[in-house]
Structure 1
Amino acid sequence: MLCIVFNYASFFEQTVIRREKTKEATMEVNPVRYSLRQLRYFVVTAETLSFTAAAKLLHISQPSISTAVADLEVSFGVQLFIRHHASGLSLTQAGRDLLGHARNLLKNAEELQLTAREMDGGVTGSISLGCLVSLAPPLMPGIISRFVRDHSAITFRTTEAHQDVLLSGLHDGSLDIALTYNLDITDGITFTPLLSLPPYVILPKTHRLARARKVSLADLIPEPYVMLDLPHSREYFSALFDAVGTRPAASFRSSQPEVVRGMVANGLGYSILNFPLKSSRTVDGEDFVIKRFKENVNATTLGVALPSTMKPREVVKRFATFCESYIRLLHID
């Protein structure tokens, strides 16, 4: 009887061992069947929705990238793109679901390489930086220039866009960090406020209010208004006039701050801006004047936005810290 029990126990032990060996053999037979290169091709193709455009960005042939994506679809067992005859591509639902994961995996792979390099004392990597389009000309070049002086191995991929695009980029992982205002910040984004910026009015230098020390909101109601036509910004500027009971109607509008300044300088009306300017001359050589408001108007807050759903890479954390120091030291009149 004892012998039978012992044999049964031995048989059970051998069965467990065989099962573990089978698992190991299965893992060896079915390794990961896709590469980081294929993931990179997939992400760029998803961003451009064109094999041809992706191939140009990646400096490879179009057949190479389409083959790599097709092989990736076979490896995943799902279709990533719908191929439209002569009209590009669109992502399937599976493609949309996997895109964020692919971006994260590529960033983690880059982080691993950076960690290895930093063991030798260097700091390298790339940063996908977004900036509100109205802030980009006076703010972004100076920040990048000063940061790369001490971190010459860092490269940047920049996006200048309106607020909705920036927030979307932070959510889907196409942006690492954004410089923007605290306008309609959504869940999933961490915003660090750095600098309060009260709005001001700009006027043609020959305007009847150009010699006034400060300007009242009510004084501007009958004047032609040149609107900076950006989502969130236009609502913010218009809402300033709620204190006097009437919002201005835009006589002219543009989504480009330099065009708005040019229209004002050429006598087409006034406008309202936030970020302080070091020059009151436009690119066509015309001048405008800058005036503060008499009223205590609501200021916007400039800051740094990061996705809260992803841990920032070390290089992004260093740049965010640098941005905080740089912006807090800006001279605001």
Structure 2
Amino acid sequence: MDHNPLRYSLRQLRYFVAAAEALSFTAAARRLHISQPSISTALADLEASFGVQLFIRHHASGLSLTQSGRDLLGHARNLLKNAEELQLAAGELDGGMTGSISLGCLVSLAPPLMPGIISRFVKEHAGIAFRTTEAHQDALLGGLSDGSLDIALTYSLDIADGIAFTPLLSLPPYVLLPKTHRLARARKVALVDLLEEPYVMLDLPHSREYFSALFDSVGARPVPSFRSSQPEVVRGMVANGLGYSILNFPLKSTRTVDGEHFVIKHFEDNVSATTLGIAQSSGMRARRVVQHFAAFCEAYVRELHVQEEHKANA
């Protein structure tokens, strides 16, 4: 059988990714500790091998990626990671799992979820390194698409084409109230009872629309009195009496960093839950270490849910 030899090298792909991230041959050459002409020549050869233009060269202002360059960037990153995994796999034949994982997490989920998962995982796999990113949904999905993220922990909100989402846990929303609020002693809270109350909004893309849409069943949406993109600030505002808020992920503490307290109440309405899960690019085969971590995340989250149910029923 006739096999066409590869007409590009891993070295050229490394240069391509570095230049795409820096958008400058000079900056990429500095990062890679090579000369600027070397990287420029290597990437011109790569473009000739591929038969497509990867960069638009701007004489005074660096580079920009062509559409072809953007389309190939994620594949190049993935191929380099797989090449790294092959080398690591050879070293693992007489040792433990090693490698690196680029992990993204929705910013509102990161504080209560990400540290525990990473801590438990590295105790079992000391050779694994993590690069973490906490961001809003659009940035996470973009990172998965361009290959800068291997995996993300997030909600099932507006999952884009090309993203595979593995659902792990259904999370109904709940209300946060100041401990002195008139509804703080209620067993459950009705949406309609909150309409005239000051609302502290978690101001993140997709999340703000989801929480506001919960009120469509009662005919009006709340107007936020305060907004913050930081969950801890939202909880602090509630605890300090500025209004109520709505969140999804279970909290183990009702005390804020400034020492104040809030209470948590469930809705008596039939409100739609969102789903916590694992997001990955569906167009790129996950490396073995990422597959192993995804399975670990699934087991961790399900164990966390069982613990919360036992606590609630105790």
TM-score normalised by length of structure 1: 0.82
1:265 paired residue number? 239
The one-letter amino acid paired with 1:72 is: A
2:217 paired residue number? 243
1:128 paired residue number? 102
Residue number among 258, 263, 270 corresponding to 1:296 in the alignment? 270
* SS of residue matched to 1:119: helix
Aligned CA distance change for structure 1 residues 66 and 138 (closer, same or farther; 3 Å): farther
Give me the whole-angstrom Cα distance separating, in 1, the residues matched to 2:57 and 2:236. Answer: 44
Tell whether the 8 Å contact from 1:83 to 1:90 is kept in structure 2 after alignment: yes
1:74 paired residue number? 44
1:253 paired residue number? 227
Give me the whole-angstrom Cα distance separating, in 1, the residues matched to 2:281 and 2:204. Answer: 22
Are residue 314 (structure 1) and residue 294 (structure 2) matched?
A: no
Mapping for residues 203-214 of structure 1, pairs under 5 Å:
203-214=177-188
* SS of residue matched to 2:183: coil
The one-letter amino acid paired with 2:43 is: E
Deviation of the 1:67 alpha carbon = 4.0
Deviation of the 1:87 alpha carbon = 5.0
* SS of residue matched to 2:94: coil
Are residue 118 (structure 1) and residue 88 (structure 2) matched?
A: no
* SS of residue matched to 1:284: coil
Tell whether the 8 Å contact from 1:126 to 1:154 is kept in structure 2 after alignment: yes
Aligned CA distance change for structure 1 residues 284 and 49 (closer, same or farther; 3 Å): farther
Deviation of the 1:91 alpha carbon = 1.7
Residue number among 225, 235, 238 corresponding to 2:199 in the alignment? 225
How many equivalent pairs are there?
302
Residue number among 147, 164, 169 corresponding to 1:190 in the alignment? 164
Residues 125-163 of structure 1: CA deviation (Å, up to 9, x unaligned): 111111111101110011011101111111111111111
Deviation of the 1:81 alpha carbon = 3.6
Give me the whole-angstrom Cα distance separating, in 2, the residues matched to 1:161 and 1:55. Answer: 29
Task: Kindly name which structure, 1 or 2, has the bigger radius of gyration based on alpha carbons.
Answer: 1
* SS of residue matched to 1:90: strand
Deviation of the 1:190 alpha carbon = 1.9
Tell whether the 8 Å contact from 1:73 to 1:79 is kept in structure 2 after alignment: no
Residues 178-218 of structure 1: CA deviation (Å, up to 9, x unaligned): 11111122232222211111111111222222222221111
Deviation of the 1:95 alpha carbon = 2.6
Q: Structure 1 unaligned segments of length 5 or more: list them.
A: 1-22
Tell whether the 8 Å contact from 1:188 to 1:307 is kept in structure 2 after alignment: yes
Aligned CA distance change for structure 1 residues 53 and 220 (closer, same or farther; 3 Å): farther
Over the matched positions of the two proteins, sequence identity in percent amounts to: 75
Give me the whole-angstrom Cα distance separating, in 1, the residues matched to 2:200 and 2:230. Answer: 11
